[in-house]
Amino acid sequence: MSADTAESKRITPLRAVVAEDEPTAREYLKLMLGRIGGVEVVAEAAEAAECIQKVAQRKPDVVFLDIHLPDDNGMDVARALVNLREPPQIVFVTGYDEYAVPAFEVAAADYVMKPYSQERLERALTRVRSRMDRAYANGDGLGPALDKLAIRDKEGAKLVPIEQICYISTNGRKTAIHTESQAFVTHYTLAELEHKLRDYGFFRANEGCLVNLNKVREVVYLGPRSYELLLTEPKDTFIPLSRSRTRQLREMLDF
């Protein structure tokens, strides 16, 4: 028994859901998890809708997710899972390497290629536990420890540290992520980013803009119930604050 395996048996078992449409592959994964120890498979799913339903019901720590499921793509399933109130860690287990970059976009804990060994699966579990430990240390519960945002481009994806994002804007068709020196167009909607960044100090200033409050230098009074947010960076950037959001921000900042 490896040191990692012995350690896993001494700590609280991870609650897992296995989503795999091939019975043989599903049984092999369960066999490997059983050999490693420290994991309790609380539910199984052979289809995407079934996976989402069982995750919502059982609230596992981790989901082992195949890319190709009969009724949907595993990547779409992952996007649905990370938007749950208590999102699990996600480990993709697949025979397709072309989805490795999009996996970053849903903050997957790991991307395990088939065929895999017990040792490879142990490394994935170690990564899951490490991310959970960081989340607990940060007071974030069991959600994925997301500290970078993957922005897809023609060459793959750029990983932008969340702390460097100043604001995010949309014109209804395109969404742009603004750092101090660059702007990146992303396929995410503003609503998706608002949910994804909800624990990182981002605030919906108006219908078309999400602001990192850590980058706000001043709330500028323009007149009765009219304000703008002056950002520290990019320099001289002003973000209009809608009237419907003013009261919420005043309560948050107590001004």
**Tens-place pLDDT, residues 49-83:** 999 999 999 999 999 999 999 988 898 899 889 87
What average pLDDT does range 108-120 have in this prediction? 93
| C-alpha to C-alpha distance for 119 and 113, rounded to whole angstroms | 13
100 token code pair: 């490795």
Sign of CA dihedral 60, 62, 64, 70: positive
Percent of the chain scoring above 90 in pLDDT: 52
Instruction: Check residue 192 and give its pLDDT.
Output: 84
Distance (Å, rounded) from C-alpha 16 to C-alpha 171?
40
Cα–Cα distances in angstroms (integers) from residue 244 to residues 47, 206, 209, 213, 227, in the given order: 41, 8, 13, 17, 11
β-strand pairing of 238-241 with 226-231: antiparallel
**Domains 3-137 and 149-253 alike in fold:** no
Least trusted range by pLDDT, from 33-37, 41-45, 65-69, 71-75: 71-75
Residue type, 94: T
Residue 10 backbone dihedrals phi, psi, to 5 degrees: -95, -5
Question: What letter would DSSP give residue 13?
Answer: P
Q: Contact, 76 vs 83, CB < 8 A? A: no
* Residue ranges per structural domain of the chain: 3-137, 149-253
Question: Which range, of 108-117, 128-137, 172-181, averages the lowest pLDDT?
Answer: 128-137
Which tens digits make up the pLDDT trace of 119-151? Answer: 999 999 999 998 888 766 554 444 444 578 888
Which CATH code for domain 149-253? Answer: 2.40.50.1020
Question: 156-187 burial by CB neighbour count: b if 16+ within 10 A, else e?
Answer: ebbebebebbbbbbbeeeebebbbeeeebebe
Q: Exposed, middle or buried by CB within 10 Å (0-12, 13-18, 19+), for 34?
A: exposed
For residue 172, pLDDT beyond 80: no
Q: Check residues 166 and 82 and name the one with the higher pLDDT.
A: 166
| Average pLDDT over all residues of the chain | 86
Measured between alpha carbons, how far is 145 from 133 in angstroms, rounded to an integer? 9
C-alpha distances out from residue 218 to 8, 215, 255, Å: 49, 9, 11
> 60, 78, 238: which is closest to 150 by C-alpha?
78
Q: Are 143 and 83 in contact (CB under 8 A)?
A: no
Token digits of residue 54: 């069982």
- Cα 132 from chain centroid (whole Å): 13
What's the pLDDT tens digit per position in 183-193?
999 888 888 88
Tell me which CATH homologous superfamily contains domain 3-137.
Response regulator (3.40.50.2300)
**Between residues 156 and 121, the one the model is more confident about:** 121
pLDDT at 5: 42
